[in-house]
Amino acid sequence: MRLTLLGTGSALPSPTRLQTGAIVERGGDTLLVDCGSGVTHRLAQSDIDYRDVDTVLLTHTHLDHVADLPTLAKARLLDGHDAFTVVGPQGTSDVCDALFAVDELADRLNLTVRELPTGTDPFAIGEIAIERAPTDHSKPGYAYRFDERVTIAGDTAPTEPVCSLADGSEVLVHECAYPDGTESPGHSTPTALGKLLADIDIDRILLTHLFPETEPHADELVSTVSKYTDATVSVATDHTSVMLE
């Protein structure tokens, strides 16, 4: 399995971080998790062929996690690949109705939209087994655990269900949008996150979804979270890639 972070930024523009997107690859499956603005072009800068990305799993439906859905789908369509699938929480169908109305893409694509039922029942995409836990954000959403190895939290305040989902993972990708001392409803700060991770068994934690004003505090985020966990903690950047044997 390989994890590649294409975008590690937020809804505010950054010269170095695009909006959210991550690729989970396992065997012949290539799954994109979230598809914020610029993710399609990040794919073109990577060794991942955008034509192989026919399925997107959404953590939630805020614009910085869905904006590039029609861009990616149209690029594939123009290159002869009309099948495209979007899977996500409550609200996914309405968002796709709006986004794929542009350029009449809904009529031109072989589009499948799958809204997950409420609850935490596991599911699969291709051969990838996926568990989920609800997030604490201003939109309904989920954190996902892939094949019990990689957990991607999406946007969320630190919560026990998300951290428990990650317990035993080799890699946890968790937002840390703001430094300590910032009011951040629906988002994470390092001390609050670290405290909930204190008894969780994880090998590596990648902090992501940094707002531009948070970027100068990257070292502080790492040192604070590291006080509470034995995991290797780092701030992810666009193009960060982790190979899991």
pLDDT in tens, the chain (245 residues): 999 999 999 999 999 999 999 999 999 999 999 999 999 999 999 999 999 999 999 999 999 999 999 999 999 999 999 999 999 999 999 999 999 999 999 999 999 999 999 999 999 999 999 999 999 999 999 999 999 999 999 999 999 999 999 999 999 999 999 999 999 899 999 999 999 999 999 999 999 999 999 999 999 999 999 999 999 999 999 999 999 98
Question: Could you tell me the residue ranges of all domains in the chain?
Answer: 2-243
Instruction: Of 142, 147, 159, 153, give the one whose Cα is nearest residue 205.
Output: 153
Residues sharing a CB contact under 8 Å with residue 82, sequence separation 6 or more, in sequence order? 76, 108, 109, 110
Tell me if 149 sits within 8 A of 168, measured CB to CB: no
Residues sharing a CB contact under 8 Å with residue 182, sequence separation 6 or more, in sequence order? 189
Using a cut of 0.85, tell me whether the model's pTM lies above it.
yes
201 assigned to active site: no
**Pairing verdict, β 232-235 and 55-57:** unpaired
How high is the pLDDT of residue 96? Answer: 98
Find the catalytic residue in 54, 64, 68, 238: 64
How high is the pLDDT of residue 245? Answer: 82
Question: How far, in Å, CA of 231 to CA of 76, rounded?
Answer: 38
Tell me if 207 sits within 8 A of 233, measured CB to CB: yes
Question: What is the fold of 2-243?
Answer: Metallo-beta-lactamase; Chain A (3.60.15)
Instruction: Of 27, 104, 115, give the one whose Cα is nearest residue 73.
Output: 104
Residues sharing a CB contact under 8 Å with residue 108, sequence separation 6 or more, in sequence order? 77, 82
